Each structure stands twice: as C-alpha cells, then as structure tokens.
A = this chain, B = another copy of it.
C-alpha cells in the first residue's frame, strides 16, 4: 500500500466543502468563530467523544444524530463551549435546525460541536443570523479547509490540517482532517476537536471500527496538561465519492484505509502536542521492549505527563532522574533495573540511563539534543517486544500566563 501526503486538508476528499466566518461570539472581529464542513452527498459517519461526565450539550445532540451511522455536515463554533448551561441542548439543536434548513438536509444528518469557555450561555443569535454567509464561505479546496480549521481554533497558535492520498481497488482515495487542541488536552477516547473526511466508500460499521481502534494509539496518547475536556469530539465522514468498492469487512482494503487514517491522525496528534498551550517543544516518548502493549502505553504517557520533566525540557535541563521517577510511578508491572533511556533529537542522541541507573554523559551533548524543537525520549524496558508512542509538550511560563486569565 502506498500512502502519500496530499493537499487540501479537510477538503482533500472529493465532494467535501468547508468554510468559516466571524459570526460574533468572539469580540475580536478578525477571529473566525463559526465553521462548516459538508458533503454534497450523504456520508457514513463515525465519532468518538470525551468520557468526561460533564459532557458538552453539542455532544448530546451529535451522539443522537449520528446514532444511525449517517451524517452529511458538521457545524462548529469557537469561543463558547455551550457546556454546563441549562439551555445548551436546545441551542445546539437550533444550530442544526438552522443549517438543515439552508442546506436542505435532515437535522439528524448534522453533527454539532462547540469549544471555548465552559458555563457561559451560548449567544445563539450571532450563529443563526450567519448561517447563510457561512455556507457562502465554503469551498472545495485548501482555502476552505484553512477557513474551517481557523474558525475552530481557541488558544491554538496556528491552524492544523493534514491529508493523504491512497488507493483502494485502483480508485484514488483521500483522507484529510482539521483539528484544534492547545489546552485541556488529555483525550479519553477522543481529542479536543477533530473533523476528518474521506471520499472512500466504507460502511458505517467499518468506519467506526477503524476510528475506535485508531484513537487508542493516536489521540488517546496525547497529553498537554492532563485535563480531559468536556467537549472532545472527533467526527469522521466518508462520502464514497471515490467510487471504490465499499469496504464492508476486514481485509486488504480495510487495512489500507486504517493505515491512511493513521497517517492523518498521527500527524494531527503531533501538531496538537507541539502547539500545546505555551509549548516551545514537541515532546515524544517512545517505549520499546515492553512485555505488554498496555504497559508500553502507560509508561509513555506517564513520562509525557510529568509536570516536572516537562519543566526540565522547557529549561533544556537533562534531568533524566525525573524520567525514571515518572516510569516508576506508572501503574503497571515491570522491572525498573532493566530500563535504558536515551534523549534524541535532530541535535543527536545521548544515553542517560542503563539498567535503571545513571550513566555519565556529556552535558554539552545533552544540551544540544534538548535545544531542538522536537525532542524524543526513547525508553527500552528490556523485557519484551511491545512498543508505544505518546506525544506532549514542555511546560512554559506562557502556559501559566494563558491559563491564569483565560476568560478575559
């Protein structure tokens, strides 16, 4: 199977349109705050959502609308999470109803999402009065993807999109998506917000199967600050415009589809991690030689999440004892005295620990490694053949600044 990067983001797949406008939820008129993605034709739809018990009203609505495995459009506002409000569900339904009317769709074919402050009433009028301009802003190319990707941003410093081309039964197919992350990122079965489209033909059941499996090693392996958002939502639409023979069971085509999906989600995860609130570096932890997949994942995430190690990375301090410490408090079974650790980046590779104890190393070489903007901690557990990777970022002054006064 060949999977190559393609242009177009969430519009890379044929038959999808995307756009975004400033509707007025945000005071800053230069910041887009309402996004739309839709397909010309009906789609199979799959989704994963936050496991937070405080669940955004849009999730309640989207979950109901996608229960039949079908959808055709996604509407999303930023600036307000529409969560912990008594009228949240009815406002989310109003967003769907207004869009359905203009696009001549059933309300139940629309997914809705919101991101922003929790617990403040959603201003619904700016949204309802901007549905027509929103639809007019939509395009079927990379410009449309950029508009939608920008309109879903909160404290993200840049738009995030990725797309690939691959082939199913000789038909050229695409998968592409946009995402927003930044803070409150510790997805539990989903990410903050991610919308992915594909023109591959695939049944709703196989689409959900591919997605549910994929997030275990992608979005669930990202952590910015350990806070699981109330509004995490990932929606995946497949409109079949590529006209491949519909994927309805496991097999070679399904495997290819999963690999292409994984290529997109992995890149979006890296972008989310690297653009974590206040982040100056992408921090990747790869665990190998573990005797279980769960153990490998837990250890990789434990290291990525260590506040102390994140601060050390920000300060380019090779304080590897904090890596060992974070491995040590992971709730999993392993032998710490078999562990080896390396710090790696474009600046080089330095081994700092062997058999669970420190090795002498050059502080200068370690500094060279840590000064790069993408740093990997490689951990060999010395006990098996399982591997896992997790993504996070350093913890900087700016994270504190951004979150010390988020609402104003």
Q: Contact residues of A with B, CB < 8 Å?
A: 51-55, 81, 83-86, 117-120, 183-184, 186, 188, 225-230, 305-308, 311-312, 314-315, 317, 319-322, 324-330, 334, 336, 353, 356-358, 395-397, 399-408
Give every chain B residue within 8 A of A358 (Cβ-Cβ). 84-85, 119-120
A53 CB contact (under 8 Å) in B184, B336, B403: B336
> Which of A52, A54, A83, A399 has its CB near the most chain B CB atoms (within 10 A)?
A54
14 contacts between A and B (CB under 8 A): A52-B328, A52-B329, A84-B321, A84-B353, A84-B356, A84-B357, A119-B321, A119-B358, A225-B308, A228-B325, A311-B400, A315-B403, A317-B405, A317-B408
Query: Does A328 contact B226, Cβ atoms closer than 8 Å?
Result: no
Task: Name the residue of chain B whose CB is nearest to the CB of A328.
Answer: B54
Quickly give the copy total for this chain: 2
Query: Does B305 contact A226, Cβ atoms closer than 8 Å?
Result: yes
Give every chain B residue within 8 A of A188 (Cβ-Cβ). 329
- A54–B306 Cα gap in the complex (Å)? 15
For the residues of A in contact with B, the DSSP-based class is: loop
Query: Does B54 contact A184, Cβ atoms closer than 8 Å?
Result: no
Query: Does A328 contact B230, Cβ atoms closer than 8 Å?
Result: yes
Task: Name the residue of chain B whose CB is nearest to the CB of A224.
Answer: B307
Distance of A401 from chain B, by nearest CB (Å): 7
Query: Does A118 contact B325, Cβ atoms closer than 8 Å?
Result: yes
**When A84-B357, A322-B118 are in contact, do A314 and B54 touch as well, CB less than 8 Å?**
no
Task: Name the residue of chain B whose CB is nearest to the CB of A321.
Answer: B118
Query: Does B54 contact A327, Cβ atoms closer than 8 Å?
Result: yes
**When A226-B226, A406-B317 are in contact, do A325 and B400 touch as well, CB less than 8 Å?**
no
